Structure formats: structure tokens, C-alpha cells
Structure 1
Amino acid sequence: MTSTIRASVVPFVIEAEGTGVAQTLTSQGDNKHVFETDAYPAFGGKDEAPSPLFYALGSLTSCNQVTAALVAKDLGITLGTFSFTVQGDLDTLVLVKGEEGNANFDKVSVRATVETDATDEQFSTFVSEIERRCPVTQLFVRSGLEFDNQWTRADLS
């Protein structure tokens, strides 16, 4: 999977092995991180590790936080503690029963609160820039699902 790429492009590579619906995944790079996935029994798993769907939603929160740090630096604002709640609504009829339709989430809702010294105007710019610049947010937005992204500003403690 090697190709010539621009210097600004960082390749993210995962290798995985598994049986049934469970996998062990290893990220490649300087520090190899190993993680497990499984599925609910209704999907053929034993529920012994998070579902790939939980990882997808978790990647949304953590990528938003990483992107927020980059955007805050660009805007010259300070950030404190973050809290996120993300919900993905998945109709399982395509996945489990093989029915026609889209196997994607129907809707994903993000509720984020971040402590910051940003003014209301800066916070509005901050939130729109996070949505525009976050690769995982863009995966969800561009997939065509209903994406509800609401951020709340809290004072720095």
C-alpha cells in the first residue's frame, strides 16, 4: 500500500486479525497501539470489547478535541475541560436482516461543552472551524446522515 504522497500527508495504517466478529487491531507507526473490537450478541459477538460503532463515535469526540486544540491555537484562545455526549441512531435492519437501504447511522448528535476564555464571537468561529477542519466530523457529515452538532461555551475554572 505504498505510494508517492505529499510531505503534508500522514498515512494512518491499521493491521487487524480476527475470528468470528472479534478483531485485534494494531496501529502502525512509531508507537504501535493494540485495541480490540467485538459486537453485541445480536450481531454475532460476545460483547467482550467495544463495537466498531462505538469506536466510530469515540473517534468523533477525540478528533473534535484534537481539532479544537489546533483551532484554539490559531484563534489565540485558551481551552480547559471538554465533555462530550455523542449518540448515533442506527436502524439495524440492513446490517442484521439484509434489507435494502443504507447501513449507515440515520442520525448522529454531538453535544459538547468546553471551558474557554473565548468571546461569543470567537466561540462561534471556533465551533464552525472545528466542524470544517475535523476529518472524522467530515466523514460523518459527507456521508449524508443527519448530523446535529451543538457546542456550549463554559467559563474557564
Structure 2
Amino acid sequence: MADKSVIRIKGNTDGMQSVLDAGKHQITIDEPPAMGGKDTGADPLSALLASLAGCENVIANLVAKEMDFDLKGIEFDISGILDTRGLMGDPNVKPYFEKIRVNAKVSTDESDERIQELKEKTDARCPIFTTFVAAGIETEANWTRA
């Protein structure tokens, strides 16, 4: 088991709000008042997309170091397309993202070819990105120079 990690989240709920412990950090997930929440944190779907941005950033930094790539930063713009009728109970509509779009502006002096190499290696190793792909969710990732 030395090569495997167990990621564990623990917490409690109060209505729509979830207050969760992730190691030393606390995460609050909630819904806006229109959905019955208190708006004390990001909604779960936004938190999922934020996790994708964070994961892509971490992996990109690891890969950049391996590639001797001059990575100065990444600006992410991530969106997901979802038909909310599915999560509201319509059995004829999928209750998950239909498509995820990742637009990344990479701050670097590296060539466009090297940026694409960084993107490909990052997408192939990012656990969250690859989970979306494995689930059959259409993914579109565009990385360009900032």
C-alpha cells in the first residue's frame, strides 16, 4: 500500500450546508438561498470544478519541473454544462455534467509546442481530469500563452 494514498473527508451537515474537514483544512459547501441554503460556501458543482483547476495546477507544476519548463503561472477559466432537470429528479435527464471546458492561459516564455506538451502530460496525470474522461464526460481543454 506504500504507493497508494487514502484521501479522507469528514464532516457534518446542517440543511444544505456541509462543513467538512480535509486534513488541517475546513471546506464549507452550501447552496444559495434560492436552493434552500445559506450561501456560506461554494455549491458542490462549483467546488468540483474548482478542484479540477487546483488539481491541474498542482500536476502542471510537477510536470513543468520534470520538463524543465519555465512555468510562471496559469489562469484557469473552467465551465461545466449541466441540465439541472436531472438533479431535480427527471429520470430522463442525466444528473451530471455533459461537458467540461478547461481554458488555461499559461504565463511562460516557452514555445506553443512546449505549452501543448505540458497540457497533454498534465491532463494525462491529473486525477480529477482523468476521472471526468473515464466517466465518459466530454472534456475540452485549451491551453494557450497568457
Q: Tell me the TM-score normalized by structure 1.
A: 0.85
Q: Tell me how far 1:44 sits from its aligned partner.
A: 3.0
Alignment partner, residue 23 of structure 1: 18
Question: How many residue pairs were aligned?
Answer: 146
> Which letter maps to 1:11?
V
Higher alpha-carbon deviation: 99-108 or 127-136: 99-108
* Aligned-CA RMSD value: 1.5
Structure 1's unaligned 5+ residue stretches are: none
Alignment partner, residue 86 of structure 2: 94
Asked whether the equivalents of residues 22 and 39 of structure 1 are also in contact (C-alpha less than 8 Å), the reply is yes
Structural mapping, 1:113-124, within 5 Å: 113-124=105-116
Asked whether the equivalents of residues 114 and 153 of structure 1 are also in contact (C-alpha less than 8 Å), the reply is yes
Structural mapping, 1:1-157, within 5 Å: 5=1, 7-28=2-23, 32-154=24-146
Q: Tell me the TM-score normalized by structure 2.
A: 0.91
Q: Percent identity?
A: 36
Secondary structure of the structure 1 residue equivalent to 2:88? helix
Secondary structure of the structure 2 residue equivalent to 1:126? helix
Q: Tell me how far 1:8 sits from its aligned partner.
A: 2.0
Q: Tell me how far 1:14 sits from its aligned partner.
A: 0.4
Asked whether the equivalents of residues 84 and 110 of structure 1 are also in contact (C-alpha less than 8 Å), the reply is yes
> Which letter maps to 2:72?
G
